[in-house]
Structure 1
Amino acid sequence: MPAASASHLELVDRELRAAARVITGCPASTPAFALLSEAGMPAACTRRSVVAARLLGLAMSLPEGDPLRALAESTPPRRLKTTTGWRDRGREALARVCRGGAPLTFEARLATAGPPWRDVPGVTIVLEVGPGGRRDCHPDTRREAAESRLAELPAEATWIWSDGSAADGVLNGGGGATIISPNGDIREVRVAAGALCSSTRAELFALRAALEELLNMDGRDTSLPTVVCTDSMAALALLRSGPAAQRTPLAADIWRLLAALTEGGQPVTMQWVPAHCGLPGNERADALAREASALPQHDTPIDGGTICKAVARDAARAWQQSWPDGWYRAIWADRRPGPVLEADRAVAVDIHQLRAGHWSGSAQYLHRIGRRPEADCPQCNDMGCPAARCRVCREEADTPRHVLLRCPALAGRRLRRLGNIHLEASMARDDGAVAALAAGYRAQLSLIGYAP
């Protein structure tokens, strides 16, 4: 795909559009960008950049001297000016996401994580603090649940609070940690996590740096347990799969350090805590992580997963910025729709069609495509044509904008559902509101004798 021509990409996009019409129920006349977006399927051009960057990252993670790495590092002359291969396209994609322009260091591939039968006893990973720690609970409730759980852990221990930070979830990562010794001494750790870095990877950098610092401390009491607190559920879930299941050198290093900590029978408890709820240790680690994100990043290696995530986000953003101004862009601006979770297929189709701008329940749309001809005008795209007027209020054409935002017959439903009758296009992000207004419009048609 990285070397595919525009005509070949169009063949792929054609199949994607056919699949998107099945997923959404949108008609063939729906603009391609809106159709693919509603189906959660980015255009093929975005996938091409991701595949090229992934291939480049995998090749550069191989040992020096490997034939594939040598091929990735080379720059041979092009045989065809119009054909760009995975090396050039991957470099272009990485240059777009790495705004600094500094050369990147790629993380070496992990050869082996160790035999699956080898375990590290003494390490306990806990991913919850009780029902009060759920994300939908009030911050005070979450803090109280965390404090209650932490009170059950040994007070006479070495406590580590760690956190990670990454701008937009993929840029300029930093990790920070606070190490509190049983005698009250406090050490703070800051570490750069890479120019391209996911939030989870930044958390892992913070954990590794904190464990290394702890192991190198002079006079450390090896008879006391260690408690590690972090707000990264993803990082702890990754580590919980065990040392043999790790696929990156970073996670394998953390398990190596944990094994070194527990060699003398010293237990380690890794405890998840809710974020941003007023826990002093977590707040301080968060501040250290933000400070660490400003450290020089060029020497910190990046991994293939982060490369794919960053390039995919950049390519999707560029594709979205290419959308023309109009109804659909007014709805989403710089956001993207999630899946429509309505159980009723007909309701889900109404939501997709109304947002995409081509609704089969609209008289204007049906007249435009010749499915609602009139004696004086069999078919036209004139918004002022009498055949295109809203059959409920007769004020203007019943476009999706009119039905959702303007039709006076639906003002009561807008008020009850959204608390206002003067709405912006962004209200169409609410699946339930769109479904309610579509159902209200069809009910009004039934009242005046039209088939819904």
Structure 2
Amino acid sequence: PGKVVILTDSKSSLYLIANRKPNSYMYSSQAIQKNILRLVDKGWDLVIQWIPSHCDVEGNDVVDHAANEGRQLQEVDYPEELDDIYHKVCRKTEVRWQSIWDRESQTTPLGLIKKKIGNWFWCRHGDRKIDTIMTGLRIGRVSLNKYLSFINLSPTSICPNCSQDVDEDCTHYLLECDRYNIPRQRLATSLHNLGITNMNLTLLLGGAEADCETLKRITEELATYIKATKRFEES
């Protein structure tokens, strides 16, 4: 490493290089910025200095001539770095998946809760059985009578605990069934301590608009509720 001074008579190019989000020549500017940072990280003392045009610097006319030739090119062969290509592919794939999700999932139980693709790491409790139950609640395939009757494993879809003819589905189990009023009240109190007053299905199953720490706490409280009801120990 040593000291390097790069001289240029183009103020506009210096402004572009100094701008973290240039409005034009974005790829070229960012490529130059990356190379500058790479050299600085390696220990080079690098300075880019503006100089007035046509000040008898040797080779200036040659540079101007080359620049004029460059402006006449219809296409510029810009060699993209592998990292840039990778991020572009990832972004395009993400946009495509999100479009497919928006189009095809909104009539599914999970689609009504999860609006964005991506990993819900905060939805994992750590207990394999509890995580399996939570996943079943999110996709509507869990050992409650409505689903069990759908796959011919229960003679009825009705909740066995309620006097009225009410289907035992995820909403009923989490928010309505009288048998679980006490653990549900404890759940509501715990959520209230987190500043949450509107307990609903989307919130409980991981789709709330909240920070990751709050979402993790909601998952923990839901796990406590599931254990307290003992509903799935009966299955």
The alpha-carbon deviation at position 176 of structure 1 amounts to: 8.9
Which of 22, 25, 28 is the equivalent residue of 1:192?
22
- Which residue is equivalent to 2:94? 313
Which residue is equivalent to 2:204? 427
Q: Aligned equivalents of 2:167 and 2:199: distance in 1?
A: 18
CA distance in 2, matches of 1:434, 1:335: 22
Unaligned runs of 5+ in 2: 3-14, 47-75, 207-217
Residue identity matched to 2:202: A
Query: Contact between 1:196 and 1:306, CA under 8 Å: does it hold in 2?
Result: no
Quote how far apart the aligned CAs of 1:425 are. Answer: 2.1
Contact kept? 1:412, 1:421, Cα under 8 Å: no
Change (3 A) 1:356 1:257: same
Q: Does 1:390 align with 2:178?
A: no
Aligned pair 1:415/2:188, yes or no? yes
Q: How does 1:370-389 map to 2 (within 5 A)?
A: 370-373=152-155, 387-389=156-158
Q: Is the 8 A contact 2:97 2:117 kept in 1?
A: no
TM-score with structure 2 setting the length: 0.56
Instruction: Specify the alignment match of 1:400 in structure 2.
Output: 170
Distance 1:433 1:439 in 2: 10
**Aligned AA for 1:426?**
L
Matched letter for residue 137 of structure 2: L
Query: Bigger radius of gyration, 1 or 2?
Result: 2
CA drift at 1:327? 2.7
Q: Does the aligned pair in 1 maintain the 2:140–2:147 contact within 8 Å?
A: no
Structure 2 counterpart of 1:289: none
Q: CA deviation digits over 1:11-66, x for unaligned, max 9?
A: xxxxxxxxxxxxxxxxxxxxxxxxxxxxxxxxxxxxxxxxxxxxxxxxxxxxxxxx
How far did 1:304 drift?
A: 0.8
Q: Distance in 2 between matches of 1:433 and 1:196?
A: 47
**Which residue pairs with 2:115 in the alignment?**
333
**What are the residue-to-residue correspondences of 1:46-445 with 2, within 5 Å?**
189=19, 191-192=21-22, 205=30, 209=33, 250=34, 252-258=35-41, 261-262=44-45, 303-321=84-102, 322-339=104-121, 340-360=123-143, 362-373=144-155, 387-395=156-164, 396-408=166-178, 409-410=180-181, 411-419=184-192, 420=197, 422-429=199-206, 430-442=218-230
Aligned residues: 171
Alpha-carbon distance, 1:431 to partner: 2.8
User: Which residue of structure 2 aligns with residue 66 of structure 1?
Assistant: none
1:359 to partner: Cα distance: 0.3
What one-letter code is carried by the residue in structure 2 that aligns with 1:427?
A: L
Structure 2 counterpart of 1:278: none
Q: Could you report, residue by residue, the CA deviation over 1:118-138 in whole angstroms, capped at 9, with x for unpaired residues?
A: xx59xxxxxxxxxxxxxxxxx
Structure 1 regions of 5+ residues with no counterpart?
Answer: 1-119, 122-174, 178-187, 198-203, 210-249, 264-298, 374-386
Q: CA RMSD in A?
A: 4.1
- 1:315 CA displacement: 1.5
TM-score normalised to the size of structure 1?
0.31
CA distance in 2, matches of 1:193, 1:346: 52
* Partner amino acid, structure 2, of 1:363: N
Q: CA deviation at 1:347?
A: 0.8
Larger helix fraction of residues: 2
For residue 366 of structure 1, give the secondary structure of its aligned residue in structure 2. Answer: helix
Separation in structure 2 between the aligned mates of residue 262 and residue 193 of structure 1, nearest angstrom: 28
**Percent sequence identity over aligned pairs:** 14
Q: Residues 106 and 112 of structure 2 are in contact (CA less than 8 Å); yes or no, is this contact kept in structure 1?
A: no
Structure in which a larger fraction of residues adopt strand = 1
**Aligned-pair distance for 1:415?**
1.2
The whole-number CA distance in structure 2 between the counterparts of 1:196 and 1:424 is 44
